[in-house]
Structure 1
Amino acid sequence: MTVTPQDEAFVSFDRVQKSYDGETLVVKDLNLHIGKGEFLTMLGPSGSGKTTCLMMLAGFETATHGEITLDGRPINNIPPHKRGIGMVFQNYALFPHMSVAENLAFPLEVRGMGKTERDAAVARALDMVQMGEFGGRRPAQLSGGQQQRIALARALVFEPELVLMDEPLGALDKQLREHMQYEIKHLHERLGITVVYVTHDQSEALTMSDRVAVFDDGRIQQLATPQALYEEPENAFVAQFIGENNKLMAEVTAIDGDTVHVKFDDGETGTALAVANTGVGTRTLLSIRPERVTLNPTNGANAVAAEVLELIYHGDHIRCRMRVHGNDEFIVKVPNAGGQGPLEEGQKLTIGWATRDCRALDA
């Protein structure tokens, strides 16, 4: 995980808190340092505090406590229009009575730029999002994807060093959303700007980000690269929120270095990687990704009896729901490589997983 030291951070939240009623904290003691040129995503369920953090950075909300700095200067008391930050929202927020070019020229006019420079900047920004031909159209004459590109161009037209994006692809259909994810990612790489992105869509966060801050209950639960979040969740919330995940409850019977020995409720035993355990005799939640489970393993400490309850065809894989250690929601993803022997509902077989692929987390 890349750590941005506080003194090198481009954006810093230092002990930031936010309450709307003076009692309940929606953001709790937030410390977050974002590097220049980084693409950082704030990911979490509704009400987790991620959007409030973005709005405090933009200047639309005021921190109840703590300090937010941008490129070394405190911005708590600077109004939004003087922060020099580009913003992209889910609802595009384009002026319907203006043409596309006029929408893009507006933030430049506000900054007092002359007409010739303005026109050149607008043309540059439209080319950047492959919308050079659309300057004369009104927003209502554009598709959702085109409107989102114009909103993106407007956020970039005055060449800000920081762009904030709040669920910008939420209104688009799946295919277009995936296409726009790559476009934004490539644009970020090309321009070298710093992006702070808010979403509740985990695949979007994994696809686009340098680092992801997973929020829950007003706090960052884990801050890491997409790969580290998926492969090495530090607690049960992150394991459940990022990707699909099997969970099995067990009791810790011994801890041997970084390996934990467990006993399941049906009396069977197994081993896992010790991540967040309180000691022998306590409960633990085991986390295993569906694609890390093997059918009929030839060896391994975690070979268990399973029964196939349901098979769902997904094209590139078969999603098998199984009964394992009394849990009827255990999922195994079997690659559809053509050579796989046929599985049937009701079939009993042995499955297994490596100790390193099974993480013992907080119960």
Structure 2
Amino acid sequence: MQFERVQKSYDGQTLVVKDLNLTVPKGEFLTMLGPSGSGKTTTLMMLAGFETATHGQIRLNGRNINDVPPHKRGIGMVFQNYALFPHMSVAENLAFPLDVRSLGKAEKEQKVKRALDMVQMGQFANRRPGQLSGGQQQRIALARALVFEPELVLMDEPLGALDKQLREHMQFEIKHIADSLGITVVYVTHDQTEALTMSDRVAVFNDGVIQQLAPPDELYEAPMNSFVARFIGENNTMTGVVTALDGSRCVVRLDSGDEIDAKPVNVAKVGERTKVSIRPERVETNKARLRPGAHTLTARVEEFIYMGDMFRTRLSVAGNSNFIMKTRNAPDQVRLEPGAEIEIGWLPEDCRALDAA
């Protein structure tokens, strides 16, 4: 599946999707993640055929599908609101996409049974959607998208209506089914945890543009700009000016006057403004755990929160009173009192100098 220089405008002036180039290989689970209005859902709707690209080509198996109507694209769809027919039984809901394709009765029954067994709902074939829980309805919606064995399945916020525990369970179940069938999935969500948990790659959208396309671990550990660093996970930022730049290392003079070493990711020259990014779990207060080369600053403890498996400490550091440190709950980890002054540190490669935007 490919997008080639695809643009979308609703009013002929403002581009909701800007010059999108994206290739999704067969069998990949790709998640499109971003805030409301970023272009992710419009991109999905163009792929489904419910929206028309203003410019560019959308290809499926090498074929241009710009002018192919939705029902002839052979794409499965799962929506947040399930979109099940309330007057039909579960089996009839699943048979509907097969009726459209004029399959014989025996083949239809076989495919419906296989799809229901796939989502562990075989015993509910004769129920109506109104007799099912939200989680059960979502399983049926997934089974209906898979029943005609499409190569590509699109999912638009499919778990948004479920409670937290069921949502987490369904994340793993959908991923397991997709992997076992070898189907290609394009998944839209605004939930970053969902994206990181389920995806082979994540495309982070903002302002109609993919800001970064990468596997979940790379996206989290190595954000390429300030937006991605801020949007994915919790992140500490401090602003300053680049005072030295030498290959894989730069020196940043923070607005507080402190100087720190950082990895130059999105800075080009000395004198440039930058935001440095440090993940809370990369900050350490136990010097025994810090390797040689770690940078240290003095910090004041503002708040200390026990979270079971970890401690979350809010600090004042270099003029930032919302600097977060996360440390695991370990026998050698000291509980910190508000008002205490401590030394914190991190490795220079964990501190990324990004754009100042």
TM-score by length of 1: 0.96
Name the residue aligned to 2:219. 229
1:273-313 deviations in whole A, cap 9, x for unaligned?
11010311111100000000010436535200000001122
Q: What pairs up with 1:114-193 in 2 under 5 angstroms?
A: 114-193=104-183
Name the residue aligned to 1:338. 331
Name the residue aligned to 2:16. 26
Instruction: Give the Cα–Cα distance (whole angstroms) in 1 for the partners of residues 199 and 14 of structure 2.
Output: 30
2:92 matched to 1:102? yes
Name the residue aligned to 1:361. 354
Specify every segment of 5 or more residues in structure 2 that has no aligned partner in the other structure, as ranges. Answer: none
Tell me by how many angstroms 1:341 deviates. Answer: 1.6
Amino acid at match of 1:125: A
Instruction: Give the Cα–Cα distance (whole angstroms) in 2 for the partners of residues 288 and 110 of structure 1.
Output: 53
Match of 2:12, SS state, is coil
Asked if the contact 1:44/1:199 (under 8 Å) is kept, the reply is: yes
Name the residue aligned to 1:323. 316
Instruction: Give the Cα–Cα distance (whole angstroms) in 1 for the partners of residues 294 and 88 of structure 2.
Output: 66
Tell me by how many angstroms 1:266 deviates. Answer: 2.2
Specify every segment of 5 or more residues in structure 1 that has no aligned partner in the other structure, as ranges. Answer: 1-10
The 4+ residue runs of structure 1 with deviation greater than 4 A are none
Q: What pairs up with 1:194-343 in 2 under 5 angstroms?
A: 194-297=184-287, 300-343=293-336
Asked if the contact 1:18/1:25 (under 8 Å) is kept, the reply is: yes
Amino acid at match of 1:356: E
Tell me by how many angstroms 1:339 deviates. Answer: 3.0
Match of 1:109, SS state, is helix
Instruction: Give the Cα–Cα distance (whole angstroms) in 2 for the partners of residues 342 and 59 of structure 1.
Output: 56
Asked if the contact 1:44/1:214 (under 8 Å) is kept, the reply is: yes
Instruction: Give the Cα–Cα distance (whole angstroms) in 2 for the partners of residues 262 and 287 of structure 1.
Output: 12
Name the residue aligned to 1:4. none
Match of 1:204, SS state, is helix
Tell me how large the CA RMSD over aligned residues is.
Answer: 0.9
Asked if the contact 2:286/2:333 (under 8 Å) is kept, the reply is: no
Match of 2:287, SS state, is coil
Tell me by how many angstroms 1:267 deviates. Answer: 1.7
Instruction: Give the Cα–Cα distance (whole angstroms) in 2 for the partners of residues 83 and 336 of structure 1.
Output: 51
Asked if the contact 1:300/1:352 (under 8 Å) is kept, the reply is: no
Q: What pairs up with 1:85-96 in 2 under 5 angstroms?
A: 85-96=75-86
Instruction: Give the Cα–Cα distance (whole angstroms) in 1 for the partners of residues 123 and 319 of structure 2.
Output: 61
| Change in CA separation of 1:264 and 1:296 when aligned onto 2, cut-off 3 Å | farther
Match of 1:165, SS state, is strand
Instruction: Give the Cα–Cα distance (whole angstroms) in 2 for the partners of residues 347 and 136 of structure 1.
Output: 64
